[in-house]
Structure 1
Amino acid sequence: MSNIAIRTSELGKRYRQKWALRECNLAIPAGRVVGLVGPNGAGKSTLMNLLVGLLRPTEGQLEVLGEQVQQTTVLHRVAYIDQEHTMYRSFRVREMLKAGRLLNDEWDQSIATDRLAELNIPLDAKIGELSGGQRAQVALALALAKGPELLILDEPVASLDPLARREMMSALMAAKADRDCTVVLSSHVVSELERLCDYLVVLDRGQLKLTGDIDELLDEHRVLISQSPAAPPMPDGVVHRHDDGQRISLLVRGNEPVDPGWLVQRANLEELVMRYLSLAAPPLLGAREIAA
């Protein structure tokens, strides 16, 4: 298996005259849990649909698990759960499992049945009669029984209540502990991803803003706060500046010494993401209307 699970080069997707994704360059290592973060309309779903072959790129190259999507059978090694946990609502759970067994050569029935039994989800229940949390757990059981090397989840907890959200995220953490697979999980809520993810991809308006190992990114960034409205000498590596009239706050990339007039703090993940999302789009994308 390739040590790079997802590789993109100048990847872009256009809907008529509107670009949903442009100039996306990624090299995501295998075995990581990737948080794909951005506001609604950032291009997250477009990127995921490209990864699983539901869309074709307008430009650029895309490799998944070392093979080009659309040109190989690599997609049988990938499992995908969309935001709606789409399944046949008239089917019973056991009928969904039978469909999965017939459609996937590497299917492991025991993974699905054991997980559902642990959750007390009856196999005779109709999908449409399950709660949102139960449907999410059935969708995850189906995905894991496929034995994927890459598991992609598009905002899987967005429609769930707080308890079901916590149960779903706990199930994901357990599934990752059981399997050596790569997981890509999208959300626009950073706090949902912080406990689970070790790799970050930030998208906004179809543009890649930040990517990398989360611990390394946090080590590379600092927050500097002025002690008075008058700013000390500006340091190198300023990514974002906020001035509320009382004090100035900077996000700085790099660890060069700074003037003692700055109070230095470690950046947390949410602050890091929000400040990068506050940056203006570059002229290339800013001159175009970007669609999600």
Structure 2
Amino acid sequence: MAADTVIDCAGLGKRYRRSWALRDCRLAVPAGHVVALVGPNGAGKTTLLSLAAGLALPSEGALTVLGGQPPGSPRALDRIGFVAQNAALYPGLPVRDLLAMGRHLNRRWDEARALAHLEGLGIPLERRYGRLSGGQQAQVSLALALAKRPELLLLDEPLAALDPLARHDFMAVLLTAVAEDGVSVVFSSHAVNELEQSCDYLVVLGGGRVQVAGEVDDLLAGHRMLTGPTAEADRVAGQLPVVRDRRAGVQSHLLVRTGGADAPVSGSWRQQRVGLTELVLSYLRQPAASALPGPRGAVPPNEKVALP
């Protein structure tokens, strides 16, 4: 496994009874990024994060973290921070007691960092966790995770229950930690429209498989939206990998992968770059069957998918 990856999986699968949450998942996430893990409900996001945190075992395939460490091993646990969705912290305990628990359970604990984080946000240490606002609870969970001085921080839907102001504050603290400490972050999210301001690496899951993965700048540069006459759409679609195919009357719109250059199409077709939200939504609309595994950590090949 590569020494510069924080999550590396090959043929990874996880089954719960008769249902597969992940199947044949191949992915290599490089270190030093803020990674957005995106997908619809049931796509396998929480399962992948739980496997990487060592909270579950794969049913098939292999997964390592931090350059080859087995998830759940003592060395991995010391270097990974994990915040689950609706983090199950004790609602009846004061924040100060939660910090004390963290201090006793973690060998790399940074009490001063946690205190500075919470006091800077005006979160009272004597207040019971269950009586804090949703935004304050999220900040306490983040403070506990960052106090471990992790090399990899895993966050499962950290923004789901937060209002816009609390989301902004949470992401500001997170991105400051990334800038100051160089921590790698993988977070799952449904807030597609907010990804462009926070992440620089994208992984889209669908049907338990990786639909697309790569650095955001490379993905945006490698796709074009083509608009042209429907009479020529089959010919154009036969020349390029099509992510999304929309045909309406005499005009068609094809989102294609071009590898970073303009598409070689005739002058009757217009082409333009796409934004991150449009790119993500196009991959999310693909049927699970079209998610064909490609090179690890790269954009996988996809067949043409005609959508209404």
Name the TM-score class by shorter chain: over 0.9
> How far apart in 1 are the matches of 2:54 and 2:168?
29
Aligned with 1:100 (options 84, 87, 102): 102
What's the offset of the Cα at 1:211?
Answer: 0.4
1:19-73 CA deviation, whole Å, 9 max, x = no partner?
0100111111111110000111111001111111111100000101121224553
- Which residue matches 1:173? 175
Report matched runs for 1:233-248 at 5 Å. 233-234=235-236, 235-248=239-252
CA contact (8 A) 1:225 1:263 kept: yes
Report matched runs for 1:135-154 at 5 Å. 135-154=137-156
> How far apart in 2 are the matches of 1:118 and 1:166?
15
Structure 2 gaps, min length 5: 293-308
Deviates more, 1:97-106 or 1:249-258: 249-258
- Which residue matches 1:77? 79
Closer/same/farther in 2, CA of residues 246 and 169 from structure 1, 3 Å limit: farther
Is 1:51 the counterpart of 2:52? The answer is: yes
> How far apart in 2 are the matches of 1:131 and 1:242?
44
What's the offset of the Cα at 1:207?
Answer: 1.3
> How far apart in 2 are the matches of 1:51 and 1:111?
25
- Which residue matches 1:289? none
- Which residue matches 2:223? 221
SS in 2 for 1:2: coil
Report matched runs for 1:1-292 at 5 Å. 2-66=3-67, 67-226=69-228, 228-231=229-232, 233-234=235-236, 235-254=239-258, 255=261, 256-282=263-289
SS in 1 for 2:89: coil
Q: TM-score, normalised by structure 1?
A: 0.93
CA contact (8 A) 1:85 1:156 kept: no
1:264-283 CA deviation, whole Å, 9 max, x = no partner?
01011111111112222228
> How far apart in 2 are the matches of 1:97 and 1:109?
8
CA contact (8 A) 2:211 2:291 kept: no
What's the offset of the Cα at 1:89?
Answer: 0.7
SS in 2 for 1:90: coil
- Which residue matches 1:290? none
What's the offset of the Cα at 1:121?
Answer: 0.6
What's the offset of the Cα at 1:284?
Answer: 9.6
Q: Which amino acid in 1 is paired with 2:9?
A: T
Closer/same/farther in 2, CA of residues 121 and 78 from structure 1, 3 Å limit: same
What's the offset of the Cα at 1:189?
Answer: 2.1
| Sequence identity percentage | 49
Deviates more, 1:28-37 or 1:61-70: 61-70
CA contact (8 A) 1:83 1:159 kept: no
Q: Which amino acid in 1 is paired with 2:110?
A: D
> How far apart in 2 are the matches of 1:248 and 1:241?
8
Deviates more, 1:194-203 or 1:72-81: 72-81
What's the offset of the Cα at 1:171?
Answer: 1.6
SS in 2 for 1:151: strand
What's the offset of the Cα at 1:11?
Answer: 0.4
Q: Which amino acid in 2 is paired with 1:249?
A: H
Q: TM-score, normalised by structure 2?
A: 0.88
What's the offset of the Cα at 1:163?
Answer: 1.5
Q: Which amino acid in 1 is paired with 2:109?
A: W
